Amino acid sequence: MLVSPFRKADLILLHAPSIYDFRKIHKLLGPISDVIPSTPIFEMYPVGFSTIAEYLQQHKISTRIINIAYRMLENPTFDAEKFISKLKTRAFGIDLHWLPHAHGSLEIAKICKKYHPDIPVIFGGYSATYFHQDLITYPSVDFVIRGDSTEEWILHLMQTIISQTGNYQDIPSLTWKNEQNEIMVNASQKPKVDLNTFSNNYVHLFKKAVKYFDFKNLTAIRDWWEYPISVIMTCRGCTQNCAICGGSERGVACYLGREKPAFRAPELVAKDIGQINRFTRAPIFVVGDLHQFGYDYAQTFFRELKKYQVKNELVFELFIPAKEVFFDWLAEAAANFNFEISPESHDVQVRRKSGKNYSNEAMERNIQWALDRGSKKIDIFFMIGLPSQTYQSVMETIEYCDYLIDKFGKRLVPFISPLAPFLDPGSIAFENAEQYGYKIHFKKLEDYRQALLEPSWKHVLSYETEWMDRETIVQASYEAGKRLTQIKAKYGLISKSESQKILVNIDDALQKHAKIEKIYADPAIDADKKNALLSTLDLNMEQDSISTICYKHELRWPKARRAFKFAGIIKAVLFE
């Protein structure tokens, strides 16, 4: 059976590239995504698309997910406008979850409205919530659903759209425009759905992909088919208060209305992993530190996990150091495991200022315990652009990385990256900028949208600090990238030729950066001339903004040769 790529669905969820159309603009995007799986256009769609689609499907509202960003990346001639013009639906849903999508998401909304003027356009996500009052003023936006748990409200909204009753005033957490074009902000309400009612294992996505032969639209990241990692969510919200994070406990309380984090039952998280294990041998990333919910939670999870005999590489986060027994439980439960730790800085004063309060000794003890019990790899993340952090301090962090690899060996892989492109609105540091030594350049959503079009990532950066201006952050990022690369080559974490390539890439990016600065700073050159000059610089995302300061493959955990278990997938599609 041939299924039309334009087949009808009640709701079509679209994920935009961060900048539309990134393929045509001349810009140095910068090393803003080197330490995440996506490219700098942030093609990964929110996990929440999957829970929304599943929840609506359970209530007989058909839903499609279309990753426009991935389609544009994967095929340089993919015509997003033409594609959207042919879609058939009762409503479009667009995420403005991550603020770096401020340009792309609004452009996609414009295209939806251009070809489907009578079809409502619904926005949602963290940034949409933070900026709901700004967002609703754009003519192509009809509704904003606020909060980090919107499944129930979007169902309510879709039922209202389909039944044409027009009773939008009854839908909690909705920002909308009435017939007089007045902005209406309905009161927020805590959703009744809890995390244990979702499946969290993507069976329905697999089913959709196979049933409609719709693999491309559902693809989450560019090289997913080569490296099909999956994520398992353990919670919404967080128990921690990292100053720069818009998802911190205080952050989500301030703008998402979440008073405390919600956890998925540990038995279900283990079962989710067991379910995914039926379809893939690829790594599974468990989002959220398991011991943030208490050691009982962690122990129950590991006890349950053991039952599923999972062989996949499992990746766990540690927000704060854990007790030694945690690593014993883990080693008992899982054959293959790895860790991610984000101390941000080697300097405990800087770390404390950024909201993390633990010593290097405590962290190193955890590293040792994890390695002793067989952890295959530990990724350790440092950041540039923190409160009270200087250029010198960044370079000392790199020296600490040298010390760490020397001490623990090649299973420890350090990364460093700039806090970019934006300081999260809603984060403690954003809301108390002066106190944390930040100067914020952009206030309104429109400022962010415009900033994304600036010719280099330096000018997209939404902040500078008392200790580092934007130029220093750029220079520190490239210099730190160079030094860390040399250290990694010294210890054999990457090859000499790989390190050479990174050093060349960084020099190339720095030269382009300097040329852009020259054009940018010249008051005698008008805007048109500036664009013409920029177009001669041979700016190229692949070459100068992907794997600039480290390689994507360094982020990967070992993957089994045959990643997919086709028998399990077919069985689930046919019988579940």
Which one-letter amino acid corresponds to residue 31? P
Q: What 3-state class would DSSP assign to 295?
A: helix
Its sign, for the CA torsion 282, 285, 290, 293, is: negative
> Which token pair is 21?
């159309």
For residue 222, which of 501, 3, 546 has the smallest C-alpha distance?
Answer: 546
CB burial of residue 75 (10 Å; 0-12, 13-18, 19+): exposed
Q: How many residues does the chain have?
A: 576
Strand residues in 128-287 grouped as ranges (E) = 143-145, 174-177, 183-185, 230-233, 235-236, 262-263, 284-287
Q: Which does 98 bind (CB under 5 to 8 A by kind): ligand B12, ligand SF4, none?
A: ligand B12
User: Which string of x and - marks every residue 274-313 that binds ligand SF4 (by CB under 6 A)?
Assistant: ----------------------------------------
Residues 6+ apart with CB under 8 A from 1: none
- Residue of the chain from 44, 66, 220, 242 that contacts ligand SF4 (CB under 6 A): 242
481 binds, among ligand B12, ligand SF4, none (CB under 5 to 8 A by kind): none
Shortest Cβ distance from residue 154 to ligand B12 (Å)?
A: 5
CB contact at 8 A, 266 and 300: yes
In the complex, the residues that contact ligand B12 under the rule CB under 6 A are 32-33, 36, 38, 42-44, 46-48, 51-52, 93-95, 97-100, 122-127, 145, 148-151, 154, 231, 233, 236-238, 245-247, 287, 424-425
Establish if 380 lies at the interface with ligand SF4 (CB under 6 A).
no
Q: Between residues 143 and 316, which has the closer beta carbon with respect to ligand SF4?
A: 316
Which one, 247 or 455, has the nearer CB to ligand B12? Answer: 247
Report what 122 binds from ligand SF4, ligand B12, none; CB cut-off 5-8 Å by kind: ligand B12
Q: Which does 126 bind (CB under 5 to 8 A by kind): ligand B12, ligand SF4, none?
A: ligand B12
Minimal distance, residue 309 CB to ligand B12, in Å: 26
- Of 222-241, binders to ligand SF4 (CB under 6 A) are 238, 240
How far apart, in whole angstroms, are the C-alpha atoms of residue 46 and residue 145?
A: 15
Closest distance of CB 76 from ligand B12, Å = 19
Nearer to ligand SF4, 234 or 248 (CB): 248
CB of 530 to ligand B12, least distance (A): 27
For residue 123, give the nearest of 88, 155, 91 by alpha carbon. Answer: 91
Q: What is the C-alpha to C-alpha distance for residues 531 and 26, in angstroms, rounded to an integer?
A: 8
- The Cα–Cα gap between 249 and 243 comes to 10
Which of 37/519 has CB closer to ligand B12?
37
What's the rounded Cα separation, in Å, for the pair 292 and 16? 33
Out of ligand SF4, ligand B12, none, which partner does residue 148 contact, by CB within 5 to 8 A per kind? ligand B12
Binding mask 245-274 for ligand SF4 (x = CB under 6 A): x-xx--------------------------
Chain residues that interact with ligand SF4, rule: CB under 6 A? 238, 240, 242, 245, 247-248, 319
